[in-house]
Structure 1
């Protein structure tokens, strides 16, 4: 082969560049199987969220894409050990322990044995841990990462078990940590005072959270006696947003050089689905998306943080379009300023002010037929009737007041995110997280 003056420099460049690549191998990007070192894992759970919620949220937002869409990697199966339709306790147990259990059970096997959670394994490995939720922090999903009880209703026991394991705990449920003499659920212990003696900073409202400049690595924030308010109604409270709590949790946990595990739950998307309150659902997804953006900003800068986002199940069987028309108007929900429950509470005893209430809080001009439906509704169904009228205006239908057995979308970002691609079971999630962090985990055999 003859070499001319042009080919010799090109060949030299190729040889030099090949030599450089051999000496400096390219580190895998955020979607590569050969993942960079994972120091932190942030698991975000939009409770009750499925593909129909994702689609309606795009329409509501008026955008072709949400912050989650570019992170989509696959779908997740959700069945529990004893039912094709899971509850939150069994679903969270699967995502926390890598094992299926029966509905209602929290990180205990169907035959009654405690199951190690990914949070506990992370703690044993020398990392710090955090749980953030807009429900009570002892509710089914956060509970499954730090407690072991046969029934999700054992909230006082869940609180007792949490205080030994979780470094940052933010959400509602203050009464679960207080003694009965103070209106709480603990028999004779004030867990808040005990945690303060152990070095936890304790905060109770948004101002305290935002002004708390020196976040210690141990932080307890309980912003309501019970659950926090829905995002639609939060403006009349002194409670922080999910994004603000997430920021505080990351600020605290990231001080620890060995890394951290953080679970963040958008709890009330699920509750909105149970209530058929489409506006509440969209508003809480919006709040969750803002928390996702906080996490992605941190992960992008850190480069050693794996972010996984996935709902635990579908709630309500929401549809995109409905009521006999090829139509969707989820964007009209942006005019709704309160939950259906809140609007029901504003009605007078005869419900004669229904038109004024729906106009003020939902920008809906009630028809005579709609006003009659509200007037005739049973007291316990009043919120559903208001929410149905709102859903009809948005062409959003519902098939159930409980959960459905749908697979749910799974999203991931950062090193090892490619491991979550395809159709996986919810029990695979904690095993893959443990593998990414290279920590021992009782459920990780074969990974």
Structure 2
């Protein structure tokens, strides 16, 4: 017998003995017993079992985003940080299969396929064998899927959700896989890997043949019912400091508008890719500008989720980059200076934020592969 049921049984016996002392049940005891019975049948475990699963899941990944990066949204953002809107927070352990410190490819493969693999691997295990991605799994169930990134769309993190390559650097092979993948909407950079390839192929006509509408100049304001391929830069998108504008937020909301039309629900992965690049460059301004842009996108997604009522929002990182810290500037405790300890990745755990149906599952401390396990579990409709 579970401990909580045992305790409930003992309490119930005590109440019965107390009742037997009287010819008729006192009103006070009647109220206590009534409340007890209600609480017994509406216990936390019962509520958890009856919890409605989300129809839609939006996973936002701040590449290279550790706790100090997140904290910078409190100190350098003109508006209140959207991270403050979350009630459920967990911690993810990020090591890859062979290294204590992961890279983005192995980190994203853990999210997308639920396995630990070697650094540089995209959608393959340690033996370089393809593993099923969450996109491939849920597409069989009729769930729509999308990807948005400020990097190239064939970069490590987005690639791990649809491709299977032994090296993250195999950009042209990854692009070819995207053309025939189950993805319904994608937006980011990486046009050169579709049009200026070493094999001389132009993959844009193949995208159109596979029912994609291709956009290569500007982010459209309205889109058709067809699949959408949006490639707006040769490689990565411009930095925020280079006038990228509201691409990340607008592309994300465009994706949500398109994918929401699917009656079976949708899964959308959104990456704030260049937070990581600011960390690698040890450029605090670059990092903070990208983080605030990511924070703004989180706010727009949370607003949608609150209106929708059927959407789970998860925000996390694949790893931390730069050993970023927020320290006092020249000993002045009223001035904060962003500083770094490395130009590479670190082994620190990263936060996981969740809001929406079944958010409580994301509290605690766990391996990054647990994200996939929960995504798969929640995609199983009742």
Query: Secondary structure, in 3 states, of the residue corresponding to 1:327?
Result: strand
Cα 1:256–1:217 change in 2 (3 A) is: farther
**Following TM superposition, by how much is the alpha carbon of 1:325 offset from its aligned partner in structure 2, in angstroms?**
2.4
Which runs of 5 or more residues in structure 1 are unaligned?
Answer: 179-183, 331-394, 440-447
**Following TM superposition, by how much is the alpha carbon of 1:191 offset from its aligned partner in structure 2, in angstroms?**
1.9
1:226 aligns with 2:214: no
1:89 counterpart (82, 105, 109): 105
1:105 aligns with 2:117: no
Aligned twin of 1:403: 345
**Separation in 1, partners of 2:334, 2:179:** 46
> TM-score, structure 1 length as denominator?
0.73
1:187 aligns with 2:196: no
**Separation in 1, partners of 2:89, 2:257:** 28
Cα 1:56–1:126 change in 2 (3 A) is: same
Query: Secondary structure, in 3 states, of the residue corresponding to 1:258?
Result: coil
1:290 aligns with 2:299: no
2:210 counterpart (195, 198, 201): 198
Query: Secondary structure, in 3 states, of the residue corresponding to 2:235?
Result: coil
Contact 1:33/1:416 (8 A) holds in 2: no
Aligned twin of 1:69: 84
1:413 aligns with 2:351: no
Contact 1:39/1:260 (8 A) holds in 2: yes
**Following TM superposition, by how much is the alpha carbon of 1:112 offset from its aligned partner in structure 2, in angstroms?**
1.4
Cα 1:257–1:232 change in 2 (3 A) is: same
1:266 aligns with 2:272: yes
**Separation in 2, partners of 1:27, 1:301:** 27
Aligned twin of 1:209: 220
Which runs of 5 or more residues in structure 2 are unaligned?
Answer: 1-21
User: Residues 388-399 of structure 1: matches in 2 within 5 Å?
Assistant: 395-399=337-341
Aligned twin of 1:125: 141
Aligned twin of 2:9: none
Aligned twin of 1:327: 333
Aligned twin of 1:381: none
Deviations 1:205-225 (A, max 9, x none): 44x422x2x442511111111
**Separation in 2, partners of 1:100, 1:301:** 36
1:252 counterpart (242, 248, 258): 258
1:45 aligns with 2:31: no
Contact 1:27/1:36 (8 A) holds in 2: no
Cα 1:271–1:41 change in 2 (3 A) is: same
**Following TM superposition, by how much is the alpha carbon of 1:15 offset from its aligned partner in structure 2, in angstroms?**
7.1
**Following TM superposition, by how much is the alpha carbon of 1:303 offset from its aligned partner in structure 2, in angstroms?**
1.9
Query: Secondary structure, in 3 states, of the residue corresponding to 1:170?
Result: strand
> TM-score, structure 2 length as denominator?
0.85
**Following TM superposition, by how much is the alpha carbon of 1:37 offset from its aligned partner in structure 2, in angstroms?**
2.5
**Following TM superposition, by how much is the alpha carbon of 1:197 offset from its aligned partner in structure 2, in angstroms?**
2.9
Q: Which runs of 4+ in 1 moved over 4 A?
A: 1-4, 24-29
**Separation in 1, partners of 2:115, 2:231:** 30
1:432 aligns with 2:363: no
Structure with greater strand share of residues: 2
Aligned pairs, how many? 357
Cα 1:27–1:290 change in 2 (3 A) is: farther
Deviations 1:306-344 (A, max 9, x none): 2111011010001110566263634xxxxxxxxxxxxxx
Contact 2:328/2:335 (8 A) holds in 1: no
